[in-house]
Amino acid sequence: MNNQSIQFIVTGRRQRRRRWILVTGILAILAVGLCCAMLLLGNTIYPVKDVIRALTGEQLKGVSFAVNTIRLPRMLAGLFAGFAFGVAGYTFQTMLRNPLANPNVLGITSGSSAAAVFCIIILHTSGAVVSVASVIAGLATVIVIYLLSRGTSFSIGRLILVGIGMQAMLDALISYLLLVSAEQDVPAAIRWLSGSLNGSQMHQLPPLVITVLVLAPVVILLGRHLDILELGEQSASSLGVATDKTRIVFILGSVFMIAMATATTGPIAFVSFLSGPIAKRLAGVGFSNVIPAGLVGVNLVLAADLIGQFAFEYRFPVGIITGLLGAPYLIFLLIQMNRKGEL
Amino acid sequence: MNSSNSLIPRNFTKVLIICLVLLGICVLASLVLGSRLVRIPELIDGLFHPDVDSYGASVVRKRISRTVFSLFCGAALGVSGALMQAVTRNPLADPSILGVNTGASLFVVCGIAFLNISTANQYIWLALAGAAITAVFVFGIGSMGRGGATPIKLILAGAATSAALSSLVTAIMIPRSYVMDQFRFWQVGSVGSATWSGIATFIPFLVIGVLTAILTAPALNALALGDEVAAGQGVRTGTLRLVAALAGVLLCGATTALAGPIGFIGLLSTHVIRLILGPDLRFVIPMSAISGAIILTISDVCGRLIGSPGELEVGVVTAFIGAPILILLAIKSKVRSL
């Protein structure tokens, strides 16, 4: 009997692992496919051989410029920003045990955006200054929201309300900045605000790439602790997780990634919100879904960018497409949560 | 209903007088202060001597329409907030928080982009339609499930709907730069572009909305005790909710159409008045109108002074005053009631 139930558990675990590996593998292959598509597709479709030769450094007339200067940075920006948004969003949702508690709703994205818009429009700076400012603003927003919503006992509802209040203020600030800016700056700022891979340049990418390469492994390695945190404060500490320290590591890591990605591509709407729930639905529960969530983020951003580039007469920035896809899902999720009485 | 007449709040007369004095000061400040300070003789010239044609006098005349408009908008938003809070029995309801403003925005943007409209008379109907549809939608989602429309559910529904609609707004706007330029001025609520014809368009909506609010106040008081009690007192709760909500949407939709989305006035004015006078809506509704007018006008004057020589739009100012209050309310309220 005892043996049988152990057998049962082991089989279940094996099945879940098989499903996780399968889903993660498929997502990874899909992401690679989309990356290739980003390099191959464009105004002119060059032969695969030429694209490869251009990538390896050969100078080919036309091809080298299109691939190395335009398509490669665009693809890399989408790849790393998508991964950052996906991982950070999943971390927040799991840690706070509520799919609605993501950087969008909590106003972190608005904080980073406001700082970045300020830098672009008022200070006319770009590059490193924008990144640093948006990281600081994002962290500051998190700290303020956390301190304000701490109260006597921690409540997600209060956290979300405080976040919405902060967001209202920051959005008012952004609207005001847009208003005082010169007319020729406005389209650029609005396009940036909606999240866009257009005009990504190689020299802007290193901060984002380094942040993701350093922080994503940390979050992935600590992924098991994240799942334990989801069980609740008490269970987690009795299972040996230093809850406060772990939480701080996760919050810092996620906010850094979100802010860097936001500074590079603008706030690509809803990616951080959608990735977690989609990954969970695909890969099931039982294993840490940090990697699948990141991969879903990559796939969402790259696919949405391809749709935005080629599906319509006008080239829409990627954030518009993810916004149009994500918003109905948000409302659907809300309806579902209300029906189940989870709110 | 006759017996309820006796229960006038103790300090009502005092509060009324203080509010009216404050209102007078606001009007004066709004006429005098700004990027150009007007002297008293100029003020009198501008108000009472239409034949005098000095620069100061014409500044005053320009500011009259603006002041009247901001008073009207403030009153409309104050009453609208009081109505929405009463109908949803929810202390945090406000047109901006419930996403109604974004609904109005979407319809106005569609109007600018697809129907080539550009005048206030045309905005107003589109904004009203957008506001009404969004209000119904948000309230529908927020009241699903157990426990009906709790504050947190309504606010999340509002925030989600807002997010959804604003991505639509951006999608429509981005390919059309002329819409973008027209819209960014409308998107930040402002009373600076007030015209007399705009005010004339606004007055019927204001009168109908406020009258409905005052007439339904006694019944709304009964509703505050719960649907069963209200029904027991002979109130048709369904009809009442519909009429009061329509009046609220009418008021905020019309304001949004003419002034752009101005947030938090309803939340602020109603809370301040309720704190002083207690929950009786027969007093809260008219006083919210007065306090809303005060808050909006003061915010507008502040915006003019802070932003001098240009101006800071009033929508930005109210967001900065109102959002901290929302946060404060969220912190103060008990976790259970969220």
Q: Between chains, do B164 and A331 touch, taking CB under 8 Å as contact?
A: yes
- What distance in Å separates the CA atoms of residue B199 and residue B181, rounded to the nearest whole number? 24
- What distance in Å separates the CA atoms of residue A12 and residue B233, rounded to the nearest whole number? 60
Q: Between chains, do B174 and A155 touch, taking CB under 8 Å as contact?
A: no
> A46-66: buried (b, 16+ CB within 10 Å) or exposed (e) per residue?
beeebbebbeeeeeeeebbeb
> B93-119: buried (b, 16+ CB within 10 Å) or exposed (e) per residue?
bbbbbbbbbbbbbbbbbbbbbeeebee
Q: Dihedral (C-alpha) B269, B270, B272, B275: value to the nearest 10 degrees?
A: 170
Q: Residues of chain B whose pLDDT is less than 50?
A: 1-4, 335-338
CA distance B136 to chain A (A): 14
The sign one gets for the Cα dihedral B25, B27, B33, B38 is negative
- What pLDDT score was predicted for residue A30? 92
Structure ipTM over 0.85, yes or no: no
Closest-CA residue of chain A to B264: A168
Among B155, B163, B170, the residue with its CB nearest the CB of A161 is B155
- What pLDDT score was predicted for residue B293? 93
Instruction: Say how many C-beta atoms besides its own lie within 10 A of residue A280's C-beta.
Output: 18
- What pLDDT score was predicted for residue B123? 75
- What distance in Å separates the CA atoms of residue B131 and residue A286, rounded to the nearest whole number? 45
Specify whether the CB–CB gap between B127 and B102 falls below 8 A.
no
Among B147, B181, B331, the residue with its CB nearest the CB of A148 is B331
- What pLDDT score was predicted for residue A341? 66
| Predicted confidence (pLDDT) per residue in A139-193, tens digit | 888 888 888 877 666 667 777 778 888 888 888 888 888 777 777 777 767 767 7
Q: Between chains, do A168 and B310 touch, taking CB under 8 Å as contact?
A: no
Angle formed by the axes of helices B55-88 and B281-306, nearest 10°: 140
- With a CB-CB cutoff of 8 Å, which residues 307-326 of chain A face chain B? 314, 316-317, 319-320, 323-324, 326
> B130-141: buried (b, 16+ CB within 10 Å) or exposed (e) per residue?
bbbbbbebbbeb
- What distance in Å separates the CA atoms of residue B25 and residue B19, rounded to the nearest whole number? 10
Chain B residues within 8 A of A316 when measuring between CB atoms: 171, 174-175
- Chain A CB within 8 Å of residue B136 CB: no
Specify whether the CB–CB gap between B161 and A331 falls below 8 A.
yes
Residue A37, in any domain of the structure: no
- What pLDDT score was predicted for residue A263? 81
- What distance in Å separates the CA atoms of residue B185 and residue B313, rounded to the nearest whole number? 9
| Predicted confidence (pLDDT) per residue in A257-274, tens digit | 888 888 888 888 788 888
- What distance in Å separates the CA atoms of residue B62 and residue A179, rounded to the nearest whole number? 22
Task: Give, as one character, the DSSP assignment of residue A69.
Answer: I
- What pLDDT score was predicted for residue A151? 64
Q: Between chains, do A324 and B155 touch, taking CB under 8 Å as contact?
A: no
Q: How far is CA A130 from CA A76, A115, A126, A184, A188, in A?
A: 19, 8, 5, 20, 15
Residue A38, in any domain of the structure: no
Residue A323, in any domain of the structure: yes
Residue with tokens 């400012």: A133
Chain B residues within 8 A of A158 when measuring between CB atoms: 330-331, 335, 338
CA distance B40 to chain A (A): 32
- What pLDDT score was predicted for residue B4? 47
What mean pLDDT value characterizes chain A?
A: 82
Segments forming the whole domain that contains residue A288: 77-340
- Chain A CB within 8 Å of residue B3 CB: no
Q: Cα A314 to chain center, whole Å?
A: 25
- What pLDDT score was predicted for residue B74? 92
Residue B337, in any domain of the structure: no
- What pLDDT score was predicted for residue A50? 80
Model's pTM, two decimal places? Answer: 0.78
Residue B31, in any domain of the structure: no
Residue A247, in any domain of the structure: yes
Residue B25, in any domain of the structure: no
Residue B41, in any domain of the structure: no
- What pLDDT score was predicted for residue B71? 92
Q: Cα A78 to chain center, whole Å?
A: 10
| Predicted confidence (pLDDT) per residue in A301-340, tens digit | 999 999 988 888 778 888 888 888 888 888 888 788 777 7
- What distance in Å separates the CA atoms of residue B95 and residue B209, rounded to the nearest whole number? 15
Residue B134, in any domain of the structure: yes
**What DSSP string runs through B304-335?**
HHHTTTS---HHHHHHHHHHHHHHHHHHHS-T
Residue A67, in any domain of the structure: no
- What pLDDT score was predicted for residue B120? 64
Residue A35, in any domain of the structure: no
Among A169, A172, A334, the residue with its CB nearest the CB of B160 is A334
Among residues B290, B293, B337, which one has the least CA distance to residue B318?
A: B293
CATH number at residue A166: 1.10.3470.10
Judged by DSSP in three states, B278 sits in: coil
pLDDT at residue A236 is higher than 80: no
Q: Between chains, do A161 and B161 touch, taking CB under 8 Å as contact?
A: no
Number of domains in chain B: 1
- What pLDDT score was predicted for residue B170? 79
- What pLDDT score was predicted for residue B294? 92
- What pLDDT score was predicted for residue A25? 92
pLDDT at residue A252 is higher than 70: yes
Q: Between chains, do B152 and A160 touch, taking CB under 8 Å as contact?
A: yes
pLDDT at residue A98 is higher than 80: no
CATH number at residue B86: 1.10.3470.10
Q: What is the average per-residue pLDDT within A5-34? A: 88
Residue B188, in any domain of the structure: yes
- What distance in Å separates the CA atoms of residue A300 and residue A304, rounded to the nearest whole number? 6
Q: What is the average per-residue pLDDT within A63-84? A: 87
Residue B176, in any domain of the structure: yes
Instruction: Say how many C-beta atoms besides its own lie within 10 A of residue A124's C-beta.
Output: 8
Residue B240, in any domain of the structure: yes
pLDDT at residue A297 is higher than 90: yes
Judged by DSSP in three states, A196 sits in: coil
Q: What is the average per-residue pLDDT within A104-117? A: 82
Number of domains in chain A: 1
Segments forming the whole domain that contains residue B227: 55-332
Length of chain A in terms of residues written: 343
